[in-house]
Structure 1
Amino acid sequence: MARLVSARICPSQRFHVPLLPSVPPLRSHSAAGLGVGGPSFHGVKLSNLPGFVAAAGALEVPKRAPSSPASGNHLPSEEVIRTWCNADAVCFDVDSTVCLDEGIDELADFCGAGQAVAEWTAKAMTGSVPFEEALAARLSLFKPSLYQVEECMEKRPPRISPGITKLIKMLKAKNVDIYLVSGGFRQMFKPVASELGIPPENIYANQLLFGNSGEYVGFDPAEPTSRSGGKAIAVQHIRKKCGYKTVVMIGDGATDLEARQPGGANLFICYGGVQMREAVAGKADWVVSDFLELMAYLA
């Protein structure tokens, strides 16, 4: 087992734009400054770690999450299919989408505060409280040190969702650019991005900050993903910077839904293979419980 080491991670993606209004209705069918960086993960291949779920090779079909009876958008319209097939960039949420777990919940559980933090996570994902409030509240409950983050990553490595590796390979074969846009922490899923062949500059996520002795001192509030509406800002930035014509956002939470804004994502696909959040699914353009459903239209 390779030991995780502390090193400076890739720089955060920083940009400043005004906050956006609330998400419009969708179609029914449809710690550098402190001198201490986050941990890097040299020589650690996720598929060799205990508990890691690799989706390469033969595709393992996941167990389906219960479908939302109130959602009539499990069958995509022709317009939705056309948009999906013509995408030139796809932005994925990480927790409960690319990975089976909610990273902050796993870290909190490892540090002994799992239940209390999970309750806040549920509120954040349904949009019942501002994301920035939920993020600050959760971290204040256990204040993870750099050592605890590294140890958690070693003993509880991320579990990649079945089918995501093959889906990303299919998208890349069509020259579609892939991004990770997450309210989680880049320290925790940087190795996941590496395993999936996603470059560090295509990661938009939060950054934990640590003091000179590795003690927790907060998170970087300049990251747009640290607040409600932040994913919309990140996706708008990605689209404008690279000149993409069609961008798709895939995720399970309210913050992912928010990314479908003018100038941002053209299409929001709710992935319910891990958690089916009815409040989010009901407003999505397309609801899927298995990445095979997305692959079928790319073949």
Structure 2
Amino acid sequence: MSFDVICFDCDSTLSRVEGIDELARRVDLFEQVAALTNAAMNGDLALEAVYGERLALIKPDQAAIDWLADLYIREMVEGVSDTIKTLQDNGKLIHIISGGLRQAILPLAALLGIAEDQVHAVDLLLDENGDYLDFARHSPLAVSGGKARICRRLRMHHSSLAMVGDGKTDLEAKLAGAYMIGFGGVVKRPLVQEQADVFVSDASLAAILPYVL
């Protein structure tokens, strides 16, 4: 199959880490926050039930976002750079669709040659001192069904779209007519293995290429 647009989740797909969980680890709240993240990614809780609660516990500031941006790049999944370049060389439009924090994802996107307007994630709101205020509560990506909404927007301009990701929120892209490739190279979630159109377990993201070219 061939697709005009290939969309990628970020956490546990482009990078080995779950960003908000790592921000929690940084302030000794990992177990509490990771339990909420896993509940949402496994489909046990709605994303909106945990999103604000996690950030209210962590209160990430500018220094934390800069730290996470570096971590995303250091922990890039095997094969990411080559996979993205191969897709771009074949004329594919690449988007990142993530429930993560946009400011932390943008440096990784820039490294991969993905334009800022092709990065869909949740904006963090900071004050003039760089301290945490809130997050963009209107963002569709902070609630269940948000990835389907972004995919529907993209499909208004492109006939065929694939979504690559590891969690329940990535499966939602199927509601927008996307072909969903479950990536289990970092974490294998039974729900995704069952419901994805295809599931790859390889540690390298390059394992998706036969399904999108």
TM-score in same-fold range (> 0.5): yes
| 1:212 Cα deviation after fit | 2.6
Q: Which residue of 2 aligns with 1:10?
A: none
Q: Distance in 1 between matches of 2:142 and 2:192?
A: 19
Match of 2:162 in 1: 248
Q: CA deviation at 1:267?
A: 0.6
Secondary structure of 1:112's aligned partner: coil
- The 3-state SS of whatever aligns with 2:125 is strand
Give unmatched runs, 5+ long, in structure 1.
1-81
Q: Does 1:275 align with 2:187?
A: yes
Q: Are 1:293 and 2:207 counterparts?
A: yes
Cα deviation per residue 1:206-251 (whole Å; 9 max; x = unaligned)? 01111232221111012111110000001111221xx211100000
Distance (Å, rounded) in 2 between the aligned partners of 1:132 and 1:212: 27
User: Quick one: structure 1 residues 229 and 271, their matched pair in 2 at CA, closer, same or farther if it must change by over 3 Å?
Assistant: same
Alignment of 1:145-224 (within 5 A): 145-154=61-70, 156-158=71-73, 159-224=75-140
In structure 2, C-alpha distance between the alignment counterparts of 1:276 and 1:145, rounded to whole Å: 31
Select the structure that is richer in helix. Answer: 2
Number of equivalenced pairs: 210
Matched to 2:125, the amino acid is L
Report Cα offsets for 1:78-130 as digits up to 9, x if no partner.
Answer: xxxx2xxx100000000000111101111111122111111111011112111
SS in 2 for 1:276: coil
2:143 paired with 1:227: yes
8 Å Cα contact 1:239/1:247 also seen in 2: yes
Measured after TM superposition, the shift of residue 142 of structure 1 is 1.8
Q: Which ranges in structure 2 are unaligned for 5 or more consecutive residues?
A: none
Identity %: 36
Query: 1:52 aligns to what?
Result: none
- CA drift of 1:298 comes to 6.4
Normalised to the residue count of structure 2, the TM-score between the two structures is 0.92
Compare 284-293 and 184-193 and name the one that shifted more.
284-293
Match of 2:32 among 116, 121, 133: 116
Read off the aligned partner of 1:106 and give its amino acid letter: E
> 1:77-88, aligned counterparts within 5 Å?
82=1, 86-88=2-4
- Counterpart Cα distance in 2 of 1:135 and 1:109: 16
Q: Distance in 1 between matches of 2:177 and 2:35?
A: 29
What's the offset of the Cα at 1:285?
0.5
How big is the alpha-carbon RMSD for the aligned residues of Structure 1 and Structure 2? 1.6
Which letter maps to 1:167?
A: T
Q: Secondary structure at the match of 1:245?
A: coil
Deviations 1:41-62 (A, max 9, x none): xxxxxxxxxxxxxxxxxxxxxx
Look up the SS of the partner of 2:181 in the other structure: strand
Contact 2:102 2:121 in 1 (8 A): yes
Compared CA separation, residues 293 and 149, structure 1 to 2 (3 A): closer
Letter in 2 for 1:258: E
The two structures have a TM-score, normalised by structure 1, of: 0.67
SS at match of 1:221: coil
Match of 1:101 in 2: 17
- Offset, 1:295: 2.6
